[in-house]
Structure 1
Amino acid sequence: MTGAAAADVAPLKSYTIGVEDLQYYPLHTTSNGNAFGGFAREVLDMFAKEKGYAFRYVALPVNRLYVAFLNERTLDFKYPDNPKWREDLRGAARIRYSATLVTSEEGAMVLPQNKGRALRQIKSLGTVLGFTPWPYLPAIDSKAIALSTSSGFEGLLRHALANHLDAVYINVDVANYLLAEELKTPGGLVFDPGLPHARSDFSLSTLRHVEVLTEFDAFLRRERPQLQALKLKYGIEERGGP
């Protein structure tokens, strides 16, 4: 390409997206030197390619991600996000959210022989630092359940497999993937729908690029059949209501 021709090519608009430094496959994950992957990466890359944008993914621990996005404001976008998460940190920040990219079914993974126990029999619960197990907050606040946190889910699942935790609060698809592929114990823990569980919508958020979210929402509507095919590809199950 000649110098004149190169000058005619507009540079890509570049944006940073802060993502969780967490193994949460198939929904999203970081691995191999914090490379971002999974369902969300493929969707965001499809959108960026269509619009001629360049996305740089910045992986940070969950709590650190909030600081970079809300306080330091060094990130253009955050994914995943939800207006109900960490309201204590958001304050009066004017955060805008996209339409839902994927809905996460989150609940208690327990030993198969313990499935069907009453909530009052759950004395210990594990989840990742920075996550909020909403359905269990009353029991946690009243000290009826002891909450254990970790930087990742694999260790928590190991503790539950060893019966050192009564339950792990996690996305069901993520738990099943980790149990089968990483811990080599498929079915070692099972989802108990009789215990409190919730559905959480995952969106892209921003403090200053509302016009990009408008474009992203249009993309999500237009590409709905392709997004559904991607969910099937990644084994993301569409479950019923709460």
Structure 2
Amino acid sequence: MNFYNKSIKCIFLFIFLQFNYAQSQTYSVGVENLNYAPYFYIDSSGNYKGFSNDIFELFMQKTGIKFKFLPMPIFRLYKEFIDGNIDFKFPDSINWQSEMKKNKNIIYSDDVITYIDGIVMKNENKNKNISEIKTIGTIRGFEVKEYKDKNKNIKFLESNNISELIDSLYKDKIDAVFFNIAVALYIVNNNVQYKNKFMFRKDLPYVLDHYKMSTIKNKKLIEDFNNFLKNNNKEITDLKKKNGIIY
């Protein structure tokens, strides 16, 4: 009987220690080193902020799992992720950088949040068609196939500084910008000189997709994250409202 009791205790101790190890382990999440408010941004102290940080903070609070966020330029982020040097990437999409991901067994979470990447122009250019667009500002590392395929003469100005791209648009140095329209309009609506001067050209090609979390080696945690997304819909909706995200 004593041997039996000791065996049971050892089994429970083993399970307890394994559970605590899983809960205390810190996972790395590669994130884009961009000011992409209201979705995410890096503050002056190098901290990850915005809706994305809020939802991961809620997930960590609910599960005890710990994340460490590693901001990187987009190309480096993809390389570090594909080389297996970081545990997770956020945001990600099945449709992004498909050539780089070829033959990699990437596991994606369920949809975290909807986004639209599209053309934002000055209101006075609302009737310009694709053939009249000469220059588009976009984020370094973004694919803009919708416009490269339709107008081979378009030139692309790439930058990691989104505010500078908007300013170039305001000063007529470029004809349009192409990235997340909520991010573009967030900048526009929080700057007095830009307000009411720009518009989303929804009559031109745009991308409607979803941000997901991705991993190559942590399928179980993705499953836990999916369950969290399903079971905490109200709190996640509240986080969207808090950050001014309308969809």
TM-score above 0.5, yes or no: yes
Q: 1:36 to 1:208 in 2, by over 3 A?
A: same
Matched ranges for 1:193-208 at <5 A: 193-208=202-217
On the 8 A contact 2:60/2:66 being kept in 1, the answer is yes
User: TM-score, structure 2 length as denominator?
Assistant: 0.87
SS at match of 1:107: strand
Query: What residue number does 2:20 align with?
Result: 10
**Structure 1: any 5+ residue segments left out of the alignment?**
1-7
Name the SS of the counterpart of 2:190 in structure 1: helix
The one-letter amino acid of 2:104's match is A
Partner of 2:11: none
Identical amino acids, percent of aligned pairs: 27
Q: Quick one: structure 1 residues 187 and 133, their matched pair in 2 at CA, closer, same or farther if it must change by over 3 Å?
A: farther
- Amino acid paired to 1:36: Y
Matched, 1:111 2:122: yes
Q: 1:181 aligns with which of 177, 186, 190?
A: 190
| Structure 2 counterparts to residues 39-188 of structure 1, below 5 A | 39-71=51-83, 73-140=84-151, 143-181=152-190, 185-188=194-197
CA contact (8 A) 1:139 1:145 kept: no
User: Which residue of structure 2 aligns with residue 237 of structure 1?
Assistant: 246
- Partners of 1:23 and 1:182 in 2: CA distance: 15
Aligned counterparts of 2:193 and 2:88: Cα–Cα separation in 1: 35
Question: CA offset at residue 115 of structure 1?
Answer: 1.2
Distance in 1 between residues matched to 2:229 and 2:47, nearest whole Å:
24
Distance of 1:37 and 1:194 partners within structure 2: 32
Within a 5 Å distance, the mapping from 1:220-231 to structure 2 comes to 220-231=229-240
TM superposition shift of 1:184: 5.1
2:220 is the alignment partner of 1:211: yes
User: For the Cα contact (< 8 Å) 2:33–2:73, is it kept in 1?
Assistant: yes
Shift of 1:89: 1.0
Please, which moves more after superposition, 192-201 or 158-167? 192-201
Matches of 1:217 and 1:118 in 2, distance apart?
A: 41
> Per-residue deviation at 1:202?
0.4
RMSD: 1.9
2:208, 2:65 → 1: CA distance? 31
Moved over 6 A (4+): none
Report the Cα offset of residue 187 of structure 1.
2.6
Larger Rg: 2
* Structure 1 equivalent of residue 43 of structure 2: 31
Alpha-carbon offset, residue 221 of structure 1:
0.8
Q: Quick one: distance in 2 between partners of 1:30 and 1:184?
A: 24
Cα distance in 1, alignment partners of residues 209 and 192 from structure 2 = 25
Which deviations, in whole Å up to 9, do the C-alpha atoms of 1:89-110 show, x marking residues without a partner? 1121111000010111111110
Deviation readout 1:9-28 (Å, 9 max, x if unpaired):
93512101000000001011
* Paired amino acid for 1:131: F
Q: Which runs of 5+ in 2 are unaligned?
A: 1-16
Distance 1:209 1:70, change over 3 A: same
Structure 1 length-normalised TM:
0.89
